[in-house]
Amino acid sequence: MTFDARRDQAVQLRLAGLSRSQIADALGLSGGGKALTEWLRDVPPPEWTRRPRAKDGIREIAVAMRKEGRSYREIREEVGVAKSTLSLWLRDVALTEEQQLALARRCPATASRRARATRASAAQRRERIQAEAAAQVVELSESELFVAGVVAYWAEGAKNKPWRTGTRVRFLNSDDRFVTLVLRWLALIGVTEDRICFRLHIHESADIPAALRFWSEQLGVDQARFLNTSVKRHNPKTVRTNVGTTYHGCLCVEVRQSAALNLQIDGWCQGLGAALPPPE
């Protein structure tokens, strides 16, 4: 039997009131398959094949909405049934070409709304995690601030090299919270304000006066204490992401006459490493 002949016979058997499984058995199809679904797409199923406990009223609403060209997601939000149930109800409902085009036009907008909702949910989750973590940190004691400052300088500060000794205490960072922590630490270890100087490092395409105001206000430091700004020339070939009003460059904090202090800090770093508890 040819493909077309089997399709025509399937349609005739459907019109005669047979179920999908009965038609599949009659045609020797294993489980019906996609071919049978396509053959019977425009042929309504007989009433007796409907499940006796199906919610006929809801089903009728779902079918009517589908015939209007509504998406499965829109229908599910309205009737509140599982996607598998909806698929069973609507598999024989055919859409016109116009309805299919309308549905396709709505899909990008629907996807965009879904994406915005997903991003908003993710942002709320990140904020919640950050807030919970921040609440776990209480006011630092002097000993805790000391360790935090040593570790911060260990990670970001300028160090002596075998080929370059006499390095002064200096660090560079773009996070005002980090800079504030290190400044508090410097005060703790006895560095007076008159020994500290600041220098802004920033791209020439940025708003330099605004960046200077930002650092001055965040740290409570008069701009008169800032040395000449170090400006980095812009390379048009470089795609930079540190742009916009939130970009304030990096701030270099340097301690005058601090070569000996740098050696002392290096000793503290070594001491912290040696003081680590043995692994369990």
Q: Given this model, what pLDDT does residue 255 score?
A: 96
Question: pLDDT at residue 217 above 90?
Answer: yes
Q: How confident is the model at residue 241 (pLDDT cuts 50, 70, 90)?
A: low
Q: Distance between CA 214 and CA 226 in Å, rounded?
A: 12
Contact 145, 184 (CB under 8 A): yes
Domains assigned to the chain: 142-274 (3.30.1330)
Mean pLDDT computed over 211-230: 94
Q: What is the pLDDT of residues 7-60, one digit of tens each?
A: 888 888 888 888 778 888 888 776 556 778 888 888 888 776 665 554 667 888
DSSP three-state, residue 211? helix
Confidence class of residue 215 from pLDDT cuts 50, 70 and 90?
very high
The pLDDT of residue 244 is 76
Assess contact for 164 and 248: CB atoms under 8 A: no
Q: What are phi and psi of 62, to 5 degrees?
A: -60, -45
The mean-pLDDT minimum among 38-42, 143-147, 213-217 falls in 38-42
Residue 187 amino acid letter = A
Cα–chain center distance at 102? 31
Q: Give dist(CA 216, CA 100) in Å, integer.
A: 60
Q: Parallel, antiparallel, or unpaired for β 196-203 and 230-232?
A: parallel
pLDDT at residue number 99? 76
Q: If you average pLDDT over each of 52-66, 128-142, 237-251, which comes out highest?
A: 128-142
